Structure formats: structure tokens, C-alpha cells
């Protein structure tokens, strides 16, 4: 197989430092089979940053112990998306073992093959086929091993329930009996015989969450729960604003506190203390004077983004077809509008956390990250180490949403641990998480479109300033298009967020499509279907509309209905929303959401349904109230008291319709489910009030 991983450009600061060596961890008494393949990795815009040859040996990816239990090794990590379960299902399916026989070893850089990271909805479409192929190769090898012992032809034998059986004599070997003490190397074809999706018995079913009991009972240890012998606690002095310079510092009061040691390394100022409270108390005792320069604020942000292009960045057209200018001149229906999206925070349940330990010249860090190998390379670079001297372990963490690509907390903990000569834990406060983590980019989107009187689109022009190019091209059939992304200087640190810019681009596009439908005097669903050539997009629109009962009731001043759809990263979705407007306060409440989803063959329907529902609920925040407020280099609402996220009381009735396409490869589903909520709700609001929302929130 050839895994192809997407990689966001903002996290590729150190791509030149990546370790390019294959490495293999073969466990004793295991099974080793070789095949050849190559891999490449790219980022969203399609730029190739080079190749990284993955291990060719099955033993690098899975190990069958003497008792028949199977360990599977992957650099993908579990961040709440339940990929631990679905990947185990795929391996169990191909290897023909019970699901409970699989243990997933994830995100430990000393044990698993190199991996770019867990993002971009790439785990299912890339790691899934990779592990399926390895498991299928192991299955075929086990058949050959049994056939050789019985002096039979391998095709005459069967595999099931972790055993190879001779149907003629009913004798069998367990997998453990076949692999015990064996270390075999064999070159095989990459074209392994995979189980057809129509024949799946474990994959494609609602298997309960792997290790779910540990999460429910509190047994699971998150990064912030990790402890080590003689561990100390660290805290870091933060500037008084972005781009600040330190003018003076007095740490004498902190240094007098019991057990506290202040550590200064260039611009880095931190301390260690016996417990977390003492660390925070000590860092607040440091007196520092900062010079914070004047900087942009929320006021005038979108004009700033439009008028301050990123220096040296040649955007160029993302997509050009025909002549938009000529088509617009001839169009019967025309609409030109601008849409904005604010910076928003990831607000993960668990803030950044890391425990660092130095032993014998080797650095080990337990941390919550979506990129264990990326953080390993950041640590190696920061401390001038060979990557082999650094081990990063990712315990399943308390969510990330694209916000935990970077390793700053790991580096902070490692610096303090080196100074202390003991393990050190650093856990960011909620205020640090709001102030010093990166944000989802804000953006300005300008669209103009034209259509014939019958509703057929003839022109589409779309300009995105700063928020990004993800899902920027329209999924609708338009003969004349001009679509561009314009990189801008961002006043705030920005980076990946669930769905990337597809949420912004889809909000603008689907709001504009709704506006075009009303301008043409057409039903919004009818208008969309008239301009769809993609059968998969049409199918989800029809499925959502049918489940929702689209068209059965008309919008009123107190109740509105809206629809939106889109496609990104191999996933197709359509969302219908019902909103209620209070006649007195004019406040809006989302009452019901129906989303139809199609991403090829479904691996775990319950897990997929949970992902879609979670994306819908998270999307409510960005649609209605999440917004980072800032001025002159300071965040003005760095607490949940001032930064509202969705609550139980905000949650509508949510219904998910899964369109299971067993004839298509499985695509990822962690992100695209979020992109339909905001435009569907905005369109429903317009249907009730006649006022078009063009801003998020």
C-alpha cells in the first residue's frame, strides 16, 4: 500500500529536521514477513514535502504472541475519535481473530513505525489499508506455515478465530503455535488479498469502544495524570502580551519559597516546585516588566487581513475555468456578498500537559500530541540530540481538535527536568491554553455568483483571505469559475482546527447558494439539486431532506428551516436545521438537526455516528458564540467565563443518517461533519427572519 498523509503547512516548521531513517522493532518469537512499497506525504495544497519509507516488515506493524494475542503498532494516536477501535476491527477482520485478541500500541516513538501524525481525517483511508494489508499478509503466511507442516497446499486450508484448520481432518494450529519461536523473512507482493467489504463480519459492525471500561471507570491515565518517581512540578513565566520584550525581572521572592528553583535559559524563564500549587504560586511571585508593542485588534480585523498579504507568498488562482466576468455580465440572477469568520480557540477538555524525564542521556516525554514523531524531532532539535535519544509517548489525551500539533509543553517540561535532575510535569492552566495556544484562523470571504432564470449557475467567484484553502473549490457544476486563496499576515498565532478552512469556505458558499436560490425564486434544495452533477453529493442531500421532512412545513417568523451540504476529505454530508425564534427577545435556539453522511464503507457505525454528532455539537459554538477577543497583543477573554462553548442546554435533537457505500473505500470522518451546521442554521434563521447571517459567530 502507499499511505498518503495530509500535513498542514503551519505544522511543517521543522520538516527539514525529520528523521528519514526506517526503524524496526521486532519482538522475539514473532512473525516477520516482508513486502515492498513506498509512501509519500503531502499537505493540503498538494505540495510534496518528500517521502519517508515505511518499514516493509509485517513484524514492524503487528506481533502474534505464543498465546495468540496480537499487538498492532501504529503511529496514529487516539484523541477521542475512536480510531483505536476501528483500526483494531480492520486488523481483526483480515487476520481472522476475535476483536478482543487485538491490542493497539499507539503513538510510542520507540515502538511504532514513523508516522506523520493524526490529522486531516487520514487515519482511516491511509492507516486502515496499511494495517489491513499487513494483517492479510500475515494471514497468508500463517496458511503457508501450516500447509508446510502438514505437507498440504495452502489454498486447501481455512482460517478462523485465530486458527488455521484442515477441513478434511479438522486438525488445527493456533496462530500462537505457528509463530512460537519462529522468525521468518519472506518477500511477498504488496497486492495482498483483502477481505471484500461485503464479507466483513467484525469491521462494519458496532463493536464497543476498545478499552472503554478504563475511560468510564477512571482507570485510564491521561497525560496530565502521569506520575514518575521523585517527580517535580513546573511552571513558566509568560509575557504580558504577544511579541513582548522583557525589560527587567526580579525573581527573588519566588526563590525564597520552600523547594522552589528558578530556571533561566535565554528567553525561557521557568521554575520547579514540589507540587502544582506551589509552582503556580511561585511563578506569580516573579516580578517582570514587559514592553508590549501596539498591535491589531478585533476592530478592523477583516480589512486588515485583506490589505496585509503574507510577504513573499504567491497565492495564485486555486481554480480558474471559463470567464467569470463575461458570464456575470450575461447572468439573469446576480449576488455579491462578503462573509467573515472569527478566530476561535480549540478549548480542549485537557489543556496541554507533559512529563519529561532524563535517564542515561536519553529523554522520555509523556505528552498529549497529535504528532508524536513531530514532537520527538522538536525535542531533538531543541536539545541537540539524535532523534534516537528521544522517546515520546502519547497516552490517549483529552481531545485536541487540531490544536496539539506542536511540542512547546514537552520542551518546557524537558528544560525544567534537565535543570532539576528529576522528572518534571508541566500542565498548562486554562488561561495559558487560551493565551498561548494557536487559534483557528479568522478570515474574510468574498463571493459573487450568477445564474440563469431557470436557476442554472453560470458563474462563481470566491476569494478567501487568511482562513485557508481547504474545501475552497465548489462542489456544484459551474462552467465559469475564479477561486482564490490569499494568505495574509495574521495578528494572532494560528494553525489547524477541526475541518480547517472547510468550515469557513462552506459557510460562505452554502450561505451564498441559499441567497442565490431565494434571488432566483427557487426552493433552496431544488436550486442545489439543479446544480449538482456529483451523485454522492446528491445522495446525501436527498437522504437528509427525506429524514428531515424537507418541504412538509413552511418557515414562519417563529420557526425556520435551512439546508446546507458539502464535501471534503472523501466525506459527503448534507445538514438540515430547524431553529426557533423567541417572539419577544428575538433570540434563536436550534431545535433539530439532521445530517446525512457518506464516506465510503462504514467501519464502525456507532463510532462514526458519535463523530458526526460530536462535530455538530462542536459546530454550534463556532456558529453562534465562540470568538477570541483581543487588543494590542492580549487576549481579552482567556477563560470559559468569557469564552462560551456549547452547553447541554444548547444541544438540539440530533439525527444522523449513515449512507454506507460498501462499494467504495473507507474515508475519514473526524472533520467534515462540522462544516454543515453553521450554514444550515444561518439559512434557517434567514428563512424565519429575512435577515441573512454572514458572520461566524
Enumerate the β-bridge partners of residue 158. Answer: 165
What is the pLDDT confidence band of residue 531, given thresholds at 50, 70 and 90?
Answer: very high
Q: Does 20 score more than 70 pLDDT? A: no
Q: Does 186 score more than 90 pLDDT? A: no
Q: Does 12 score more than 60 pLDDT? A: no
Q: Does 542 score more than 70 pLDDT? A: yes
Q: Does 109 score more than 80 pLDDT? A: yes
Q: Does 520 score more than 80 pLDDT? A: yes
635-665 pLDDT, tens per residue?
999 999 999 999 999 999 999 999 999 999 9
Question: Of the given ranges (6-15, 176-185, 421-430, 497-506), which has the lowest mean pLDDT?
Answer: 6-15
Question: Are the C-beta atoms of residues 260 and 286 closer than 8 Å to each other?
Answer: no
d(CA 452, CA 322): 16
d(CA 36, CA 60): 13
Q: Which three cell numbers stand for residue 278?
A: 506551589
What is the pLDDT confidence band of residue 267, given thresholds at 50, 70 and 90?
Answer: confident
Nearest alpha carbon to residue 132 among 185, 204, 81? 204
The helix, strand and coil proportions of the chain, stated in percent and rounded to the nearest 5, come to 30, 25, 45
Q: Does 535 score more than 90 pLDDT? A: yes
How high is the pLDDT of residue 19? 32
How high is the pLDDT of residue 54? 85
Three-state secondary-structure class, residue 17: helix
444-469 pLDDT, tens per residue?
999 999 999 999 999 999 999 999 99
How high is the pLDDT of residue 314? 62
What does the mean pLDDT of the chain come to?
91
| Length in residues, the chain | 697
Strand 333-341 to 353-359 pairing: unpaired
d(CA 438, CA 371): 15
Per-residue pLDDT, averaged over 316-332, amounts to 93
Three-state secondary-structure class, residue 574: strand
211-243 pLDDT, tens per residue?
999 999 999 999 999 999 999 999 999 999 999
Give the relative orientation of helices 128-150 and 83-95 as an angle to the nearest 10 degrees. 30
How high is the pLDDT of residue 315? 66
Per-residue pLDDT, averaged over 568-585, amounts to 96
294 CB neighbour count, 10 Å cutoff: 9
31-67 pLDDT, tens per residue?
333 222 222 222 233 333 334 788 888 899 999 999 9
What is the pLDDT confidence band of residue 15, given thresholds at 50, 70 and 90?
Answer: very low
Quick one: which H or E segment has residue 104? strand 102-106
d(CA 128, CA 676): 26
How high is the pLDDT of residue 318? 84
The one-character DSSP state at 127 is I
CA 38 to chain CA centroid, Å, is 24
Three-state secondary-structure class, residue 371: coil
Amino acid at each position: 500500500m502507499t499511505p498518503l498523509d495530509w500535513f498542514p503547512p503551519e505544522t511543517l516548521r521543522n520538516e527539514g529536521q525529520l528523521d528519514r531513517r526506517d526503524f524496526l522493532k521486532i519482538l522475539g518469537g514473532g512473525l516477520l514477513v516482508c513486502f515492498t512499497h513506498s509512501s509519500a506525504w503531502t499537505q493540503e495544497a498538494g505540495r510534496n514535502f518528500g517521502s519517508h519509507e515505511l518499514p516493509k516488515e509485517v513484524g514492524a506493524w503487528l506481533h502474534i504472541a505464543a498465546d495468540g494475542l496480537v499487538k498492532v503498532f501504529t503511529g496514529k494516536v487516539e484523541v477521542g475519535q475512536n480510531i483505536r477501535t476501528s483500526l483494531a476491527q480492520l486488523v481483526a477482520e483480515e487476520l481472522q481473530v476475535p476483536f478482543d485478541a487485538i491490542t493497539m500500541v499507539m503513538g510510542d516513538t520507540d515502538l511504532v513505525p514513523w508516522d506523520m501524525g493524526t490529522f486531516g481525517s487520514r487515519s482511516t483511508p491511509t492507516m486502515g489499508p496499511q494495517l489491513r494489508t499487513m494483517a492479510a499478509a500475515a494471514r497468508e503466511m500463517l496458511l503457508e506455515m501450516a500447509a508446510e507442516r502438514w505437507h498440504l497446499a495452502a489454498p486447501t486450508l481455512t482460517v478462523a478465530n485465530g486458527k488455521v484448520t484442515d477441513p478434511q481432518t479438522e486438525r488445527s494450529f493456533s496462530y500462537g503455535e505457528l509463530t512460537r519461536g519462529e522468525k521468518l523473512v519472506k518477500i511477498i507482493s504488496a497486492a495482498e488479498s483483502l477481505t471484500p467489504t461485503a464479507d466483513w463480519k467484525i469491521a462494519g459492525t458496532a463493536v464497543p469502544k476498545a478499552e472503554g471500561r478504563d475511560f468510564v471507570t477512571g482507570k485510564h491515565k491521561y497525560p496530565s495524570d502521569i506520575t514518575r518517581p521523585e517527580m517535580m512540578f513546573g511552571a513558566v513565566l509568560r509575557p504580558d502580551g504577544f511579541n513582548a520584550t522583557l525589560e527587567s525581572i526580579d525573581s527573588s521572592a519566588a526563590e525564597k519559597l520552600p523547594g522552589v528553583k528558578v530556571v533561566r535559559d535565554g528567553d525561557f524563564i521557568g521554575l520547579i516546585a514540589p507540587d502544582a500549587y506551589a509552582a503556580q504560586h511561585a511563578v506569580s511571585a516573579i516580578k517582570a516588566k514587559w514592553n508590549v508593542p501596539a498591535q491589531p485588534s478585533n476592530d478592523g480585523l477583516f480589512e486588515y487581513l485583506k490589505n496585509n498579504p503574507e510577504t513573499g507568498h504567491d497565492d495564485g488562482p486555486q481554480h480558474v475555468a471559463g470567464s467569470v466576468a463575461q458570464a456575470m455580465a450575461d447572468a439573469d440572477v446576480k449576488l455579491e456578498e462578503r462573509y467573515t469568520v472569527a478566530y476561535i480557540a480549540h478549548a480542549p477538555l485537557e489543556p496541554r500537559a507533559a512529563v519529561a524525564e532524563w535517564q542515561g542521556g536519553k529523554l522520555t516525554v509523556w505528552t498529549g500530541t497529535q504528532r508524536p514523531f513531530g514532537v520527538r524531532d522538536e525535542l531533538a532539535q531543541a536539545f541537540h540530540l539524535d532523534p534516537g535519544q528521544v522517546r515520546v509517548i502519547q497516552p490517549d489525551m483529552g481531545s485536541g481538535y487540531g490544536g496539539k500539533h506542536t511540542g512547546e509543553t514537552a520542551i518546557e517540561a524537558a528544560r525544567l527536568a534537565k535543570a532539576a535532575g528529576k522528572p518534571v510535569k508541566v500542565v498548562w492552566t486554562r488561561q495559558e491554553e487560551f493565551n498561548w495556544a494557536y487559534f483557528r484562523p479568522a478570515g474574510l470571504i468574498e463571493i459573487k455568483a450568477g445564474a440563469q432564470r431557470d436557476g442554472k449557475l453560470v458563474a462563481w467567484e470566491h476569494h478567501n483571505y487568511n482562513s485557508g484553502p481547504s474545501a475552497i473549490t465548489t462542489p456544484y457544476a459551474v462552467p465559469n469559475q475564479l477561486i482564490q486563496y490569499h494568505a495574509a499576515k495574521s495578528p494572532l498565532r494560528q494553525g489547524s482546527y477541526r475541518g480547517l478552512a472547510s468550515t469557513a469556505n462552506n459557510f460562505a458558499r452554502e450561505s451564498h447558494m441559499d441567497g442565490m436560490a431565494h434571488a432566483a425564486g427557487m426552493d433552496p434544495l431544488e436550486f442545489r439539486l439543479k446544480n449538482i452533477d456529483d451523485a454522492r453529493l446528491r445522495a446525501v442531500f436527498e437522504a437528509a431532506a427525506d429524514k428531515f421532512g424537507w418541504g412538509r412545513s413552511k418557515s414562519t417568523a417563529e420557526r425556520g428551516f435551512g439546508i446546507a451540504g458539502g464535501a471534503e476529505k472523501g466525506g459527503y454530508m448534507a445538514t438540515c436545521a430547524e431553529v426557533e425564534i423567541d417572539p419577544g427577545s428575538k433570540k434563536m435556539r436550534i431545535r433539530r438537526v439532521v445530517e446525512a453522511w457518506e464516506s465510503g464503507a462504514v467501519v464502525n457505525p456507532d463510532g462514526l455516528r458519535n463523530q458526526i454528532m460530536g462535530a455538530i455539537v462542536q459546530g454550534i459554538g463556532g456558529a453562534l458564540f465562540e470568538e477570541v477577543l483581543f487588543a494590542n497583543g492580549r487576549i481579552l477573554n482567556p477563560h470559559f467565563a468569557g469564552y462560551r462553548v456549547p452547553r447541554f442546554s444548547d444541544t438540539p435533537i440530533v439525527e444522523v443518517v449513515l449512507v454506507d457505500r460498501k462499494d467504495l473505500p473507507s474515508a475519514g470522518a473526524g472533520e467534515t461533519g462540522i462544516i454543515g451546521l453553521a450554514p444550515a442554521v444561518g439559512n434557517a434563521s434567514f428563512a424565519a427572519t429575512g435577515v441573512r447571517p454572514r458572520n461566524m459567530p
